[in-house]
Each structure stands twice: as structure tokens, then as C-alpha cells.
Structure 1
Amino acid sequence: MPPSTDRPDPAGAPGGEDTPLALDDPAYREAVVELLGAIAYGEISAFERLAEDAKLAPRLEDKVAVAGKAAAEFTRVAPLHERITALGADPFAAMAPFREPIELFHEHTAPADWYEGLVKAFVGDGLADDFYREIAAFLDTDTRDLVLASVEETGHAAFVVDRVRAAIAADPRLGGRLALWGRRLMGEALTQAQRVAAERDALSSLLAGGADVPGLDLAAIGRMFTRLTERHTERMAELGLES
């Protein structure tokens, strides 16, 4: 995907020389704490979900691969908590507002079998990671680097693509069901994201911008969601599925 022209120039973003000014802004600090709280609880939830998915694995190799991904997700929580604490906030209080919407998403998208679990981990988590990468462009340098490290690919994607494509080749009917599943994941993810944005003013302000923090206008926000949708389509294609 080509770089977005909607992203601010790093020289004009909150990072670098502007970092102290940005972090001295209470509204910006609150927004960063909320963002890191959302990511941290998302990592914990991903750990729990992947640990459950590992129980559905048809082979021992698959079980080990998914369990390894779960462990990798959990190791990302501590640095996020440390950053929240450094900003003067309680990590558990920062995560609390996001527990309900994230758990609600998982409740509405509980996989029926091993393959739905694989697609959910690849497509659902990928969509969230893409969104956080978009927001990272508006953060101070230290926070931006932490967010990008938190959503860095762990190598699990190649495993998922291999397993799903092999299963579809063996049973082409599976492809239709998983394609519908991928569309449902996209719809549920957007619904919960809109809910969080509506309820968390500080977090949504990161996109809208403020006095010392560049943001996006409505048209640019629309283009951002277009990019997210396009990346979702690309991921579905990687799996051999129609979006």
C-alpha cells in the first residue's frame, strides 16, 4: 500500500522537538493514555483468545504455533503499562473502558471452528493493527515507536495463510463460508470502533487534532477508512477469499 498523503510530516508531528509540548498538553496525554489502554487490553484479549484457539488445533504443530502467537501478544503488555505509568496514569484504569467493547466484539465473533479462528486472528487483528498504525502518525516519537512495536507482525501471518489456503484447496466449499466470515468480522470491527470513538472524546481527538497536535479533516478520515478497507481486501485475497 503506498504511503498516505494524509499523514503529517514527522517534522510537524508531535514527535521530535515538539514532544515536550505535546506531552505537557493534558488533553494529548489523556488521549495517549486511552490509546495505550485500548492497545494493552486488546493484547490481553488476543492472548486469551489465541490460547483458546490452540485447543482447537488439529495437529500438535498447529497448537504450538498458535500458543507461540499467544505468548508473543502477552509480552507486549508490560511495555504499554510502563508507558502509561510514566505518563502518570494507572494502567488498569486506562484499560478498563475498553474491556466491554473488546469483549463484546469477541462475543459477537466467536469462531465456530479452527479455520474461523485462524481467519479471525489474521483479518480481525490485522484490521486493528492497521488502525493503530494510522493513529501512530499523530503521536510523539516515543509513543509512536511503542505503538508500532506493539502491532509489529510476529510471523504468524504466513502460518495462517498456509493453513487456510491448503484447507480451501482440499474443500473449496470452505472458501465461501470463510469469505462470509471475513465480511462479518469487518462489519463487527467497524461497529465497535465507531462505538469507542463516540464514547471516548480524548481518543477521537487524536484524529481530529488540537492546538499543538495535527489532525485529519472529515475527508481525510474518510480516506483513512478507505485505506483500512483496502488493506482488509488485500488480506482476504492473501487467504484466497473474496472480501
Structure 2
Amino acid sequence: MSDSPPGIADLLGVLAYAELTAFLRLAEDATRHAPSLTDRAALGGLAAVEYAHFELLRDRIASLGVDPEEAMAPFVGPLDAWHARTTPGDWLEALVKAYVGTGIALDFYREAFYREAAAGMGEETRSLVDEVLVDEERSQFAVERVRAALEEDPKLAGRLALWSRRLVGEALSQGRYVAEARPALAELLAEAAGGEIGKLVTRLTEEHGERMAALGLTPGP
């Protein structure tokens, strides 16, 4: 990894562990919360996609001369803590987490990646991360089912909006922790934000508002 831009080992490591935990959590939610076999199969399919992404990232890290286990290790604590603090209580909370919570995390990585890619990251790594950051299938699945539930019972909107804000608050908190603990990654994020992390948080919050609107929820204060 010595000939790669600073922070790329961290970026690939955190992304790889994020994909691994996404696989495990989606599979768990499919078993625990899915109301039908059709929904269980659909969420299980999305979990399989996450695992395939993990394998691609793990192999890419290894090809760059870095132990994938070591690359992921610094991020186990923060990501596990986020999942522990945001365990969904039912099917709709699981869907909102899959869409809103994971979405803001992907935005966080995307900001750092594209800034560094512009500085000369290799095309192979660029293409890989492009593929991993695609979120269309999960987004469509979650949006369709949450909006259908809200049409049937509009009173659910308040609870789900509160849940969404909790997810994002916890994600931003853990993101700051990761950035502080990994100076090279923090530098990528600062560069992506034009020198100010606060600007990055503002952009992520705006994108969160767009996701809330897609679900039929309001961002709130």
C-alpha cells in the first residue's frame, strides 16, 4: 500500500468492515423481522450482495499488500457500537435503518473516496469502490415497503422519523470518532469538505433530508 495515497488503506478497511457488518445485520433482520417469506428472501438477497462487496474489497486490500484483518481492525469497535445502539425493534425500523442509516454511511465514504480518486487513485480501485457504493436495490426495496406501510397507517410516520434521526445522530457520532482515531482518513475527509469537517456534516445532513423525503417522512428539527 506504500504507493497508494495516504488514507486509502483506512478507507478500504472501513468500507470492507461496513459491508461485512451490513451482510450480517441484514441477514439477521431478514430472519427476525421479515413479515413474509417473500420479504425474507428479498432482504436475504440484499445481504448476499453486501457479502459479495465485502469479498471484492477484502481481495483488493490483500492485492495491495495489506492484511485485510489489520485494515479492518481499527473500525470494528465504532461500527459494532453503532449497530449495537441502533438495533431495530421491528420490520419497518429495520428497513429504515437499511436505507437511511446505511445510506449516510455510504455518503460518508463516498465523500472521502471521490476526493482522493481525483488525486490519482488507480482505476481498478476506483471501479471497485464505484461498484460497492451503489445502493439502488436496497433503496428501492426499503422505500417501496415503508411508503406502503405509511399509506396504510400514517401514524407510523412520527415514530419512524424519530428513529431515522437517531440513526443519523449515532452514525455522525461514530464517524467523528473514526476520523479522530485515524489521522490519514481524517485528512481525506477534511480535504473532501474543503478543509472543514463541518461542511461535510452539512452535506451529509442535506442528503439525509432527501432520503427522508423519499420515504415519505419529514426530517424534523
- State the TM-score, normalized to the length of structure 1: 0.83
Match of 2:62 in 1: 85
Deviation of 1:240 (Å): 0.6
Pairwise CA distance, 1:203: 1.3
For the pair shown, the structure with the greater C-alpha radius of gyration is 1
- 4+ residue runs over 2 A deviation: 22-25, 141-145, 221-225
d(CA) in 1 for partners of 2:95, 2:203 = 23
Whether the 8 Å contact between 2:104 and 2:204 is mirrored in structure 1 is yes
Contact 1:69–1:154, Cα closer than 8 Å, also in 2: no
Deviations 1:106-150 (A, max 9, x none): 000000101000000000111111122211221303323222211
Which consecutive residues of structure 2, in runs of 5 or more, have no partner in the other structure? none
Distance 2:161 2:149 in 1: 13
Which structure's residues are more often helix, by fraction? 2
In structure 2, the residue matched to 1:159 is 141
1:60 aligns with 2:69: no
| CA deviation vs aligned residue, 1:55-93 (integer Å, no higher than 9, x gap) | 211111111110000000000112211221122110011
User: 1:51·1:67 contact (CA, 8 Å) conserved in 2?
Assistant: yes
Equivalent residue for 1:190? Answer: 172
Secondary structure in structure 2 of the residue aligned to 1:155: helix
Q: Are residues 1:101 and 2:82 paired?
A: no
Separation in 2, partners of 1:101, 1:148:
24
Q: What letter corresponds to residue 146 of structure 1 in structure 2?
A: L
Aligned length: 213
Q: Give the partner amino acid of 2:152.
A: A
In the alignment, which residue of structure 2 is the partner of 1:24?
A: 3
Equivalent-residue separation in structure 2 for 1:47 and 1:202 (angstroms): 27
Out of 26, 49, 57, the position equivalent to 2:25 is: 49
Match of 1:141 among 108, 119, 122: 122
Going from structure 1 to structure 2, the CA distance change for 1:24 and 1:179 (only over 3 Å counts) comes to: same
Aligned residue identity for 1:157: S
List runs of 5+ in structure 1 lacking aligned partners: 1-21
Q: CA RMSD in A?
A: 1.8
Q: Which moved more, 1:154-163 or 1:117-126?
A: 154-163
Deviations 1:171-192 (A, max 9, x none): 1211110000000011000000
**Deviation at residue 157 of structure 1 after TM alignment:** 1.4
Q: Which residue of 1 aligns with 2:195?
A: 217
Match of 2:155 in 1: 173
Secondary structure, aligned partner of 2:170:
helix
- Secondary structure at 1:76 match in 2: helix
Distance in 2 (CA, whole Å) between partners of 1:169 and 1:207 is 39
CA distance in 2, matches of 1:81, 1:153: 19
What TM-score do the two structures reach when normalised by structure 2?
Answer: 0.90
Secondary structure class of the residue paired with 1:110: coil
Alignment of 1:2-21 (within 5 A): none
Q: Are the aligned partners of 2:11 and 2:113 in contact in 1 as well (CA < 8 Å)?
A: no
User: Counterpart amino acid of 1:36?
Assistant: L
Letter in 2 for 1:198: E
Equivalent position amino acid for 1:46 in 2: A
